[in-house]
Structure 1
Amino acid sequence: MSQEVSPFTPAGATHRTVDVPGRRIHLVEQGAGPLVLLIHGFPELWHSWRHQLPALAAAGYRAVAVDVRGYGRSPAPDDVAAYRIGAHVEDNVAVVRALGEETAVIVGHDWGSTIAADSALLRPDVFTAVGLFGVPYAPRGGMKPTDAFAMIGGDEEFYVSHFQEPGRAEAEIEPDVRGWLAGFYATLAGDTMPASGEGAVFFVPKGGRLSDRFVQESPSWLTDEELDFCAAEFERTGFTGALNRYRSMDRDWEDLADFEGAPLTQPSLFVAGELDASIAWLADAVKAFPSTLPGLFSSHLVEGAGHWVQQERPDEVNRLLTDWLGSLNGPTPPAPTRTR
């Protein structure tokens, strides 16, 4: 089955779907031992964890990378409200149960980082530790997210606002899925981003498109064949399910009203590329880690890497990840550190 779903499945990994209430979630699994649940971001698939699956399995863990709802081989409900954060948390809990486990370490990248953090926040009984890649944890604040993002960019439109209107971003992306993905991936990667950095690409000029500022290069860490696979998955599903996560942000804010300012108290890890624009925009969130992530083991900025840190620098990320996982049952972790 693995090769039917993807020729890039790591040797020894298997594809399966598991029943969760009202739907089925597709995942790729490798190894045996404590469960580590891997949650991808936008616009990605389980495939973004292809380098971590065998490394975690070799280190003695049961590594499971899911297709998040709205992506890949998992369901894509039509209703935007079906993508609110509580639904993603329920999916993750249900996957853990379907795999016959009671608890898991959860690790996420990009939107997956937010989903992982909120899974740990809402269900600390299930998610005993949390790894955050690319996007730092930021507790719910006092301003509705769409209002906050609308204030960014001046005469230009921030990409989150650009994604809000149903059909608008789809009309830009879906006529050339492969080209759009290649440009988006390359523009945010450390070795191919514009000389000015990746930040400018997130702003849309009036009457323009997000892709107007993409670099016209292929990402070095993704082969043409792998890009073909990712593009084919999105061509099959469309982008609406993926974009509906952005369109649910205000619902998340409403649902998390009882958790304003709440810290994540579980053992945690933060890893990002040093060139990732998210680190600049969310610098205050990183500075707040002593209070918002009191269980932080370590915080790392990977030199030369951009947004796709676990794909751009898999060996270094795998070392950081397995070192942290090994600490969970070891001695008391050291004080939080920040490395390059």
Structure 2
Amino acid sequence: MRQNPVAEPVHRLVPSPAGRLHLVEQGEGPLVLLLHGFPESWYAWRHQLPVLAAAGYRAAAVDVRGYGRSSRPDAVGAYRMLELVEDNAAVVHALGERSAVLVGHDWGATIAATSALVRPEVFRAVALLSVPYTPPGGPRPSEVFSLMGGQDEFYVSYFQSPGRAEAEIEPDVRGWLAGFYAALSADTMPGPEAPDPHFVSPGGRLCDRFPAGPPPAWLGEHDLDVQAGEFERTGFTGALNRYRNMDRDWDDLAGLAGAPLTQPSLFAGGALDASTTWLTAAIEAYGTTLPGLMGAHLLDGCGHWIQQERPEEVNRLLVDWLAALPT
């Protein structure tokens, strides 16, 4: 692994179709865009930025539209996937580059995969963390989610009505985030006998199923303060609007139904993460759906927040993969 002197990270605002996007940049070399998921921000990549920079890359962790210091359009439809794809292309061009590698976690993984699928001339490789690649198409998302959970409501369905989840979260953003992070972390997630925190009981709230007790080991008080401070300032509507566009995305991407992602790719997930256990069939289909796959890794004893729970392992996987990419 090549180690270079690393300058301090730099905060930047760049123009995009959303208005502006905030990013934190560190290092020089080939551009690597880092895309966070829900409910996070650029800060989710704090462990990766200096390591990628030291390995000879220009790493840029973006606040996705609706988050942090990035613009938050009012219209729900402004958060459809194709808008986010164009945001990513705009970042590449605003940074004076013609192409970039994408690394995404959670929703960021799906945004990264779709960006590479729709704009292959800009995005030359893609790494997906926690959420496997599933090609566009299949049943309409709202129909699938309505059938999950029996009498309980799946969290994605719970997030659909504007204002509903916000009313639960925003009175105590810090406490809600701490519980949500704990519910999906390997060392604090509820056991198999406990109610599944991905579902809401009739008349209940999502947080009713969050675990009590200490926060996960990876989440320090300062880390929680940073993440909570962003959402206390912005609210959650922009972040939740991503979930409210899944049927729009299904319509927008109908012409790419079943399309494989052909660029060089990497997948890494937590063995205890529901995102990987529920989508085992998607991982098993990678021979067809990810023909450029260079490695697929399930980290034993790891939950959903993979690059924060296991930063050293994830950093090693990313740096080794980036070094092996064709130039």
1:46 and 2:51 equivalent?
no
Corresponding residue of 1:302: 299
Task: Tell me the alpha carbon deviations over residues 141-164 of structure 1, each in whole angstroms, 9 at most, x when there is no partner.
Answer: 231111111111111110000000
Corresponding residue of 1:127: 123
In 2, Cα distance between the equivalents of 1:91 and 1:229? 24
Q: Which runs of 5+ in 2 are unaligned?
A: 1-5
Number of equivalences: 321
2:72 to 76, 87, 112: 76
1:264 and 2:261 equivalent?
yes
SS at match of 1:48: helix
1:312 and 2:309 equivalent?
yes
In 2, Cα distance between the equivalents of 1:116 and 1:22? 17
Corresponding residue of 2:169: 173
Counterpart of 1:62, as a letter, is: R
Corresponding residue of 2:182: 186
SS at match of 2:102: strand
1:221 and 2:193 equivalent?
no
TM-score when scaled to structure 1? 0.92
Task: Tell me the alpha carbon deviations over residues 155-174 of structure 1, each in whole angstroms, 9 at most, x when there is no partner.
Answer: 11100000001100000000
SS at match of 2:197: helix
Q: Which deviates more from structure 2 when the two are superposed, residues 194-203 or residues 261-270?
A: 194-203
> How far does residue 199 in structure 1 lie from its aligned partner after superposition?
8.1
* CA separation of 1:241 and 1:168: change in aligned 2, threshold 3 A: same
Corresponding residue of 2:3: none
Partners of 1:187 and 1:198 within 8 A in 2: no
Corresponding residue of 2:85: 89
Partners of 1:197 and 1:275 within 8 A in 2: no
> How far does residue 19 in structure 1 lie from its aligned partner after superposition?
1.6
Corresponding residue of 2:140: 144
In 1, Cα distance between the equivalents of 2:49 and 2:224? 19
In 2, Cα distance between the equivalents of 1:11 and 1:196? 45
SS at match of 1:230: helix
Partners of 2:137 and 2:256 within 8 A in 1: no
1:202 and 2:206 equivalent?
no
SS at match of 1:171: helix
1:31 and 2:27 equivalent?
yes
In 1, Cα distance between the equivalents of 2:138 and 2:225? 42
In 2, Cα distance between the equivalents of 1:24 and 1:165? 26
- Large movers: runs of 4+ above 4 Å: none
* CA separation of 1:76 and 1:22: change in aligned 2, threshold 3 A: closer
Task: Tell me the alpha carbon deviations over residues 90-117 of structure 1, each in whole angstroms, 9 at most, x when there is no partner.
Answer: 0000000000000000010000000000
In 2, Cα distance between the equivalents of 1:119 and 1:326? 22
Partners of 1:189 and 1:308 within 8 A in 2: yes
* CA separation of 1:184 and 1:197: change in aligned 2, threshold 3 A: farther
> How far does residue 293 in structure 1 lie from its aligned partner after superposition?
0.2
Task: Tell me the alpha carbon deviations over residues 67-86 of structure 1, each in whole angstroms, 9 at most, x when there is no partner.
Answer: 00000000111100000001
1:255 and 2:263 equivalent?
no
Partners of 2:137 and 2:253 within 8 A in 1: no
* CA separation of 1:144 and 1:265: change in aligned 2, threshold 3 A: same
Counterpart of 2:137, as a letter, is: G
Q: Which runs of 5+ in 1 are unaligned?
A: 1-9, 331-340
Partners of 1:198 and 1:277 within 8 A in 2: no
Counterpart of 1:126, as a letter, is: V
In 1, Cα distance between the equivalents of 2:65 and 2:18? 12
Counterpart of 2:148, as a letter, is: I
* CA separation of 1:219 and 1:71: change in aligned 2, threshold 3 A: same
Corresponding residue of 1:293: 290
Partners of 1:24 and 1:74 within 8 A in 2: yes
SS at match of 2:15: strand
SS at match of 1:200: coil
Corresponding residue of 1:13: 9
Percentage of matched positions with identical amino acids: 66
